[in-house]
Amino acid sequence: MTDIQTLDCVFKTDLGEAPVALDWSACGQWLAVINIHSDVLVVDANTGTPVASWTAHDDGALALAWHPKLPVFASRCQNGLVKLWEIDSQHSIKQVSEIALQSESDNPWIEFIKWRRDGKQLAIASGNIVRLCSPQGEVETSFPFPGGTVGAMAWHPKGSLLGIAGYGGILIYNSLDPIAKPIELKWKGSLLSLSWSPDGKFIVAGCQDNTAHVWSVRTKKDSLMSGFNYKPLQLTWSNGGKRLLTGGTKDLVIWSFNRKGAEEGAPVERAFHDHAICAIAVTANGKSIASGCRNGHIAIWESANDQRPKTSTTLDSRVEHLQWSPARKSKMLAASSRYGSLHLFDASAFV
């Protein structure tokens, strides 16, 4: 690691407690992060300064997600409550809506929230049910997951399909036709993470048994990816979907894909981290990669072809989150640690 130039931090703060989520606004100007006590911090990435902080919920927070087009983000907590917040050009933030859900299961926690790519619906998972709400906070429909508690969900990158994963496999619902029978992809086990390929042809899940499983959505043909030391929860695509990056080992594992799916042969492995990778992020252009491990090391790779990272840095503890700014020309990277530090890096000199 001594031969790699260190990445400089342009903003750093202490969140007080461990972060549970961070996310960028669609324009890339604002970064929002929420900790376990529901304390929210919004940072202006253009100036590297905090612009607002407040406590969003009375209970512990579980997630935060910006709308894909509007200056609005949603936050959720453990008691079945989702709040929508809006920020204006003067950095004034106000609550614009509130969604109170009563779970039909014994689990009232709202496990996941995900905006549809066009921003017309917010999917909210609570127990074994996913509800779809409008940006105004109105519940429009709901999808059941008979296999039990929802383990993960992901919207199709170009359409209205919603994949819901958990024990027994994946159900893919069409939000434009909620009464239609879902596509079913069966798997004898528990699925913990979910990701669509950028073209929507494949869907991959991280499994409880330290494997990853990938399906062709059209043919339902499946294949297994194994060899992980830990659960491969990190599933990130690069190069327009030609590469799948996975965590679960201390090496960055790169799987090649073609039109038919994962190419035959062993994946490529990039060695750098001394502990298991627990966070992966790809720039908006799909080329450059950031990887973070349990020991707090962050590596910046200019592309999946790099044998070694271009630069690196180290946080005070396990890397909890990594996200590049969604602005296409931006090379700003947000990172948070288990101990509650938030960092903003400018990697434009390296990628």
Tell me which residue has tokens 């899940």. 205
Query: Per-residue DSSP letters for 157-219?
Result: SSSSEEEEEEEEEEEEEETTSTTSPPEEEEEEEEEEEEEE-TTSSEEEEEETTS-EEEEETTT
pLDDT of res. 3: 56
pLDDT of res. 109: 64
Residues 250, 232 contacting (CB under 8 angstroms): no
332: left (phi over 0), alpha (psi -120 to 50) or beta: beta
Query: Per-residue DSSP letters for 206-269?
Result: EETTS-EEEEETTT--EEEE---SS----EEEEGGGTEEEE-SSSSEEEEEEETTEEPSSPPEE
Query: Per-residue DSSP letters for 41-87?
Result: EEEETTTTEEEEEEE--SS-EEEEEE-SSSSEEEEEETTSEEEEEEE
d(CA 173, CA 156): 10
pLDDT of res. 2: 47
pLDDT of res. 170: 97
Exposed, middle or buried: residue 100 (CB in 10 Å: 0-12, 13-18, 19+)? exposed
**One pLDDT digit (tens) per residue for the chain, 351 residues:** 445 677 888 999 999 999 999 999 999 999 999 999 999 999 999 999 999 999 999 988 889 999 999 999 999 888 878 999 999 988 899 999 998 876 555 555 667 899 999 999 999 998 889 999 998 889 999 999 998 889 999 999 988 999 999 999 999 999 999 999 999 999 989 999 999 999 999 999 999 999 999 999 999 999 999 889 999 999 999 999 999 999 989 999 999 988 777 776 789 999 999 999 999 999 999 999 999 999 999 999 999 999 999 999 999 999 999 999 999 889 999 999 999 999 999 999 998
The enclosing H or E element of 20 equals strand 19-24
pLDDT of res. 91: 87
Give the torsion sign (CA, 303, 30, 328, 200).
Answer: positive
d(CA 243, CA 278): 18
pLDDT of res. 102: 63
* Cβ neighbours, 10 Å, residue 318: 19
Q: Which long-range contacts (CB under 8 A, 24 or more apart) does 326-333 make?
A: 326/24, 326/25, 326/26, 326/27, 326/28, 326/284, 327/27, 327/28, 327/284, 328/284, 328/285, 330/28, 330/45, 330/284, 331/283, 331/288, 332/28, 332/45, 333/281, 333/290, 333/300
Q: For the chain, what percentages of helix, strand and coil (3-state, to nearest 5) are there?
A: 0, 55, 45
Provide the whole-model pTM.
0.93
pLDDT of res. 176: 95
Domains in the chain, CATH or no CATH each: 231-351 (2.130.10.10)
* Cβ neighbours, 10 Å, residue 333: 25
pLDDT of res. 7: 83
